[in-house]
Amino acid sequence: MTNTRDKWLGYAGRTLVALILLFVLLPTIVVIISSFSSTSVLFFPPKGWSLRWFERAVTYDDFKDGFYAGLIVTAWASTLAVVIGTTLAIAINRYEFRFKQLLEGILLSPLFIPHFTIGLGLLMLVAQLNIGRGYPLVIFCHIVLVLPFVLRSLYVSLQNLEQRIEQAAASLGASPLRVVWTITVPLMIPGLFGGWLFAAILSFNEFTASLFVTTQNTQTLPVAMYNYVREFADPTLAALSVIYIAVTATLLILANKFLGLGRVLNVDASR
């Protein structure tokens, strides 16, 4: 009796999970099919097939410029965020100083302050100070937004670090700075890389705050894409989305294979 019930319960559970996965995948499948459409008006299913939208996606000037601007912003923002985050994480984790909690609280606050508020604030600040809206503004904005995530991943790697190695170095006469530079930082490298990658992906995709702080010259790819949807209805954006999805999924599959995504994201069962 119980056994048949359990079996049906198992089937029901599996069907439910499969349906939910289908819901998650649905837009991706639909966007992939649409990107090969031959007509310039989106119909579903497409009336014919072509690759012309892929060609347009990689040759359209605003997308090319947005891609380069995005690379500049992402490279600077994620690297600086890792430097700022690492020094702060070491200081917070190992030492006491004044206003420690206040500082940490402010830097984690972008997790709960809407991105449009942060973008608006920075935009009004540079307007009031009469500074132009250039790359520094966009980069600073992205640093602020990715820093909470970087800090979180660095705390984890600092906590897992064997403190006795640091103590051994110190007891052998290494100065505290030398301990940090030759022991702590090298041991943190996997965490640093993970934090950097996470920051880079988030920064490259950031949209809402970027919409406020970028100009025509500094607009990143998501902003260029948003402006495109508002002007055109052809499947170029579907083609670009497919390229995006392919690159992201490849990166994640590789990360899963070599780093163990479950472990990185902390969702593996504890026992």
Q: Which is nearer to other proteins, 76 or 204 (CB)?
A: 204
Of the residues 67, 121, 135, 156, which one makes contact with other proteins according to CB under 8 A: 121
- Binding residue for other proteins, selected from 66, 110, 148, 191, defined by CB under 8 A: 110
Contact by Cβ (8 Å): 238, 29: no
Among 11, 20, 160, 232, binds other proteins (CB under 8 A): 20
Q: Among 197, 200, 244, which Cα is nearest to 58's? A: 244
Mask of contacts with other proteins, 125-164, x by CB under 8 A?
Answer: x-xx-----------x--xx--x-----------------
- Extract the tokens encoding 14: 């599996």
- Identify the residue among 8, 51, 111, 189 touching other proteins (CB under 8 A): 111
Q: Give the x-and-dash track for 174-203 against other proteins (CB under 8 A).
A: -xxx--x--------------------x--
Residue 63 phi, psi (nearest 5): -70, -40
Shortest CB 59 distance to other proteins, Å: 19
Picking from 213, 193, 205, the residue whose alpha carbon sits closest to that of residue 116 is: 213
When asked if residue 11 is in the footprint of other proteins (CB under 8 A), the reply is no
Q: For residue 11, what are its two tokens?
A: 């089937």
Tokens of 260: 């163990």
CA dist 97 and 259 (Å) reads: 35
In the bound complex, what is the minimum distance in angstroms from residue 190's beta carbon to other proteins? 19
Q: How far is the CB of 61 from other proteins (least distance, A)?
A: 18
Of positions 8, 17, 190, 215, contacts other proteins by CB under 8 A: 17
- Cβ(76)–Cβ(226) under 8 Å? no
> What value, to the nearest 5°, has the Cα angle with vertex 141 and ends 91 and 263?
55
CB 239 within 8 A of CB 50: no
Closest CA to 145 of 193, 103, 113: 113
Q: Which stretch binds other proteins (CB under 8 A): 51-59, 60-68, 188-196, 245-253?
A: 245-253
Among 4, 96, 173, 258, binds other proteins (CB under 8 A): 96
Q: Residues 24 to 53: which contact other proteins by CB under 8 A?
A: 24-28, 30-31, 34, 42-45
Enter the tokens of residue 90: 């070491």
For residue 156, the minimal CB distance to other proteins (Å) is 12
Residue type, 61: D
Q: Which is nearer to other proteins, 39 or 59 (CB)?
A: 39
235: buried, middle or exposed (CB in 10 Å: 19+, 13-18, 0-12)? Answer: buried
Query: What is the nearest approach in angstroms of other proteins to the Cβ of residue 242?
Result: 9
The rounded distance, in Å, linking the Cα atoms of 79 and 86 is: 11
Which residues between 215 and 234 bind other proteins (CB under 8 A)?
222, 225-226, 229-230
User: Judged by CB under 8 A, which of 57, 69, 77, 88 binds other proteins?
Assistant: 88
